[in-house]
Structure 1
Amino acid sequence: MTPTRDQIRQAYVAACLGEIQALKPGNVHRFADGHRMTATQFLDSAEISADPLTDPVLRVGRRIRDAVAVTREHIGTNTNLGILLLCAPLAKAAEHSVPDLRRNTQLVLDAFDRDDARDVFAAITLAQPGGLGSAEKHDVSKEPAVGLLEAMQEVAHRDMIARQYVTGFADIFDIGLSAHATAIARQEGGMWPIVFVYLDFLSRFPDSHIARKHGAATAEKIRTEAETIRARIMEMRDGEEREKLLLAFDTRLKDGGINPGTSADLTVATLFAGNINLVLHNRGVNG
């Protein structure tokens, strides 16, 4: 079936809610705020941005720009740029009549043009993400000379969100959804499948947001630490002990001003894709 706009909206808001409910070390979550942001701000951002994100009249770039603008107006800070960059193509892909989200996502990416680039550049400039800086080619403060996909190709080697654009969201479909399914098969309940998605991304790849703000060496150091913690968490069965270990890691990261924001964004996109797939298979967002 083709999801309705309301179903896509619900799938998006549910993904944002699920992610903020999970204990994601270094990121904002219901257990602890951080980086001068609160969990409530993220939840409000999801509701506020859902309408432009799912507007079927708008191109993907315009959805991102309008969603960033309304978030900025109401929240006053950048809470969701990465989330919107990842979820807008998925929302557009969900509107296709053929129930194949991965195929449809690639079709959406292939259709990007310079107008999409112009709107996304404007969204990034408005959001003012930390550590952005300037670029020799395709600087977002300037008029784009190429389409959005080509602009993303220039930075895909150092930015995990751009990498999704040039790989057909391969890490979402192959890694994120797989990590979630594996946790479910292992009979993990509550927030834990989402925690394992987050830890899988954080332990596999140096987080792009950390690298931009603190450098590649710090991003790699956090990746290796996350790898160790993920292995320890998998061996534990006591939820309270798991939480203690993750909260200690959370405190260390936040005390150092380190926010694995890209890993959190990839987690939201994974949950959104999973929710859309549930609707496509007539099971609903809540299964």
Structure 2
Amino acid sequence: MTGSAQGGLPAATVADLYRAACLAELDALKPGNVHSYAPGHRMVTADFVTSADVSAPPLAEAGARVGRRVRGGVEATIAAVGQNTNLGILLLCAPLARAAEAPGRLSEALSAVLATFDASDSRDVFAAIRRANPGGLGRAERHDVSRDPADDGPVPPLRAAMEEAAPRDRIARAYADGFRDLFAIGLPALADARARGLVPPWTTTAVHLAYLTAVPDSHIARKHGPERAEAVRAQARARLAGLDLAAAPVEALLAYDRALKEAGLNPGTSADFTVATLFLDALLSARGETS
């Protein structure tokens, strides 16, 4: 990353940028996911708008640890809309929000955040995951989030628990590899879209499609198996090859959107990473940094 680094951002700014990223993601046509062009999976955009609004204060709470931000955001969301709409978003955005408060380069602050979790982070993140109860979570021999970590003895470090889950979940992998997908897939896709003259919401669609075609979606893998997730990725890559987003191909994308939803396939992790990419980009801009 290049560019000058400024001081940390105030909580109000972080909250505003988080809300804006969540809303921008909803405005974009993201095949298989929930968006303003079409509902899906028994959810509507209004639930996600409310979720963004109520989760912003705990996500941006000044000085709060990552676990507290995630748990607070999930609790506020469940209280407001009665279902899990943003666990993945909060897990990705909470470390970014905490890092955004620190002076110096954001990438260095993020590395420090990921290296300094404590037992409270584990307890709060595990509790948030249990409360949200995401579909297809399954069980694990070690660090199973369906149980209180204290039930298995000493509370495991959060990063160790995420490393355990990394092979099967890209959000967990982000905690283990320094959020590599954001920097290697999301930000480059956003920069390329802008360089091609795209404007929102099509820049956001470009980011979502970059994730959808680059890596198997963890949400699909949890619910339908890793082979199905890889098949969806390969199909998306073939079906969307040569698609010109500058031509605003709404009908072509909606046709694919319907096909995925009729098959019960929701690339929700790709959508979560899309929000996090927009949030990270906005934080970098607000801090005077470039990616």
Interval of TM-score (by shorter of Structure 1 and Structure 2): over 0.9
Cα deviation, residue 191, structure 1: 1.1
For residue 48 of structure 1, the aligned residue among 50, 54, 61 is 54
- Partners of 2:229 and 2:89 in 1: CA distance: 20
Partner of 2:231: 221
**Cα gap change, 1:282/1:181 in structure 2, threshold over 3 Å: closer, same or farther?**
closer
Partner of 1:9: 15
**Cα gap change, 1:90/1:213 in structure 2, threshold over 3 Å: closer, same or farther?**
same
**Aligned partners of 1:113 and 1:149 also within 8 Å:** no
Q: Which residues of 2 match residues 235-274 of structure 1 at below 5 A? A: 237-239=246-248, 242-274=249-281
Deviations 1:146-179 (A, max 9, x none): 1100000001111010111011111101210010
- Partners of 1:180 and 1:237 in 2: CA distance: 14
**Aligned partners of 1:78 and 1:129 also within 8 Å:** yes
Cα deviation, residue 92, structure 1: 0.1
Deviations 1:23-65 (A, max 9, x none): 0000000000111111111011000000000111421101101
- Partners of 2:106 and 2:271 in 1: CA distance: 21
- Structure 1: unaligned runs, 5 residues or longer: none
- Partners of 1:172 and 1:85 in 2: CA distance: 13
**Aligned partners of 2:10 and 2:62 also within 8 Å:** no
Cα deviation, residue 114, structure 1: 2.0
Cα deviation, residue 229, structure 1: 3.2
Point out the more displaced range, 122-131 or 111-120: 111-120
**Aligned partners of 2:219 and 2:267 also within 8 Å:** yes
Deviations 1:88-146 (A, max 9, x none): 00000000011x11111110010112211111000000001000121111011223231
**Aligned partners of 1:209 and 1:259 also within 8 Å:** yes
Counterpart AA for 1:271: L
Could you say what secondary structure the match of 1:112 adopts?
A: coil
Cα deviation, residue 282, structure 1: 8.2
Counterpart AA for 1:163: R
Partner of 2:171: 161
**Aligned partners of 2:127 and 2:148 also within 8 Å:** no
- Partners of 1:57 and 1:4 in 2: CA distance: 10
Counterpart AA for 1:248: A
**Aligned partners of 1:86 and 1:161 also within 8 Å:** yes
Q: Which residues of 2 match residues 1-287 of structure 1 at below 5 A? A: 1=6, 2-98=8-104, 100-144=105-149, 145-234=155-244, 237-239=246-248, 242-281=249-288
TM normalised by structure 2 equals 0.93
- Partners of 1:158 and 1:164 in 2: CA distance: 12
- Structure 2: unaligned runs, 5 residues or longer: 1-5, 150-154
Counterpart AA for 2:247: D
**Aligned partners of 1:113 and 1:146 also within 8 Å:** no
Cα deviation, residue 237, structure 1: 4.2
Cα deviation, residue 84, structure 1: 0.2
Identity of aligned residues (%): 50
Q: CA RMSD in A?
A: 1.3
Could you say what secondary structure the match of 1:136 adopts?
A: coil
Cα deviation, residue 197, structure 1: 0.6
Aligned residue pairs total 279
**Aligned partners of 1:115 and 1:147 also within 8 Å:** no
Counterpart AA for 2:133: Q
Counterpart AA for 1:214: H
